[in-house]
Amino acid sequence: MGKLGKIIDRYILREISLPFFTSLLATTSVLLLGKSLKLMDLMVNKGVSIADIIKIILFLMPYFLIFTIPISLLISILIGMGRLAGDNEITVLKGAGISLYRLAYPVAGASFAAFLITLSLSLFFVPHSNHAMKGLLFNVVRQNAGAGIKEKVFNDNFKGILLYANNITADGRFMEGIIISDNRISNEPNTIFAERAYLISDPESLRVSLRLERGSTHAVDIKRRHYRKMDFSSYDINLDMEDVLTETNRNREKDSGEMTPRELMKKIRTFGLEKALRRELAVELNKKFTFPLTCLIFGLLGMPIGINVRKSVKARGLTIGIVIVLLYYL
């Protein structure tokens, strides 16, 4: 059966491959579509370049693929094996003395290959891409934070802060004649006057700040009816961009989604670590292995179910695949 077995293996893999890549493209596109509004907002309203948008999409791909590869594998096995069963090719092969266990070899091989690819994505590519995207988003913030500031109008680009600049230099680096209404503390409104201001960024803390020079702050405590004035030569205000860019860049330290298994294990073993954080890290470590394992689980489920799908192969295979995926992930 050596040569015949190889022919059958290639034939079954060919039946599976086309539905797999079609499903992979469709499911990945659906996930990307869920991010499209945010990406369009970044490009249209935040001034993010097309090149940076493409980089963000590429950094998202590894995370998407650890979900879409197992789903596409299941759907392709259901459709491929269902078509073979529907055309009675399985019956013919069994009549020729080829067992279902032998027919399962190419399916098992495809499932194992998908498992290895998904495992490598989960363990290495996803953490590194998440960390790289965090750095990219910070650079986008740093480069575009001042792009929307206009002179001689009140700018509300920053959460809780109303900024007025009488003049902006030709190169856009410095603002002059600054008036700021700071309402981030509800019971203590603060008005700030400064001769000059410019944006600065701190790569270590991943923060963007507005540095004011030669001015004064005027704060009023409404409850205590107290007024306070402070003169300064230099004064920094941390800016909240009020969007996804800074929400993902609050601190320089890696979060659980950016850590490799080795980094997660090291962090979990840290003495005095809070129980809630240790639990979060343990769950993240578990996810890195359980998501790839779905390839093997779906491979085991797909073949026997697919063989029993005889009518409306594609529609029924797709429906059953979606039901199994929903039951598994929910």
Residue 177, pLDDT > 50, answer yes
Q: Name the residue among 62, 73, 70 with its Cα closest to residue 20.
A: 73
**Residues 175, 195: Cα–Cα separation, whole Å:** 8
Is residue 81 within 8 A of residue 106, CB to CB? The reply is no
For residue 106, the surrounding DSSP H or E stretch is helix 100-120
Domain spans, the chain = 2-144+273-329, 154-240
Q: How many CA atoms lie within 13 A of 45 on its CB side?
A: 12
- What pLDDT shows up at residue 247? 47
Q: Are strands 190-202 and 154-158 parallel, antiparallel or unpaired?
A: unpaired
Is residue 180 within 8 A of residue 164, CB to CB? The reply is yes
Helix, strand and coil content of the chain, in percent to the nearest 5, comes to 60, 20, 20
Which range, of 24-28, 240-244, 282-286, 318-322, averages the lowest pLDDT? Answer: 240-244
Alpha helices, DSSP H only, in the chain? 2-44, 50-86, 89-95, 100-120, 126-144, 244-247, 261-268, 275-307, 313-329
Residues 6 or more apart in contact with residue 241 via CB below 8 angstroms: 141, 145, 157, 158, 159, 208
Residues in the chain, how many? 330
Alpha helices, DSSP H only, in 87-98? 89-95
Which range, of 75-89, 121-135, 139-153, 288-302, averages the lowest pLDDT? Answer: 139-153
Instruction: Render pLDDT for 241-277 as a digit per residue (tens, 0 to 9).
Output: 544 444 444 445 567 777 888 888 888 888 778 888 8
What one-character DSSP code corresponds to residue 258?
Answer: G
- What pLDDT shows up at residue 98? 82
The predicted model scores a pTM of 0.71
In the chain the first and final C-alpha atoms are separated, in Å, by 43
- What pLDDT shows up at residue 249? 47
- What pLDDT shows up at residue 14? 93
Please report which confidence band the pLDDT of residue 322 belongs to, taking 50, 70 and 90 as the band edges: low
- What pLDDT shows up at residue 244? 40
Residue 205, pLDDT > 80, answer no
**Residues 179, 217: Cα–Cα separation, whole Å:** 10
DSSP for 237-296, please give it.
Answer: EE----SHHHHT-S-SS--GGG--HHHHHHHHT-TT--HHHHHHHHHHHHHHHHHHHHHH
Q: Name the residue among 7, 4, 3 with its Cα closest to residue 15.
A: 7
**Angle, helices 50-86/126-144, rounded to nearest 10 degrees:** 150
Residue 282, pLDDT > 90, answer no
- What pLDDT shows up at residue 132? 86
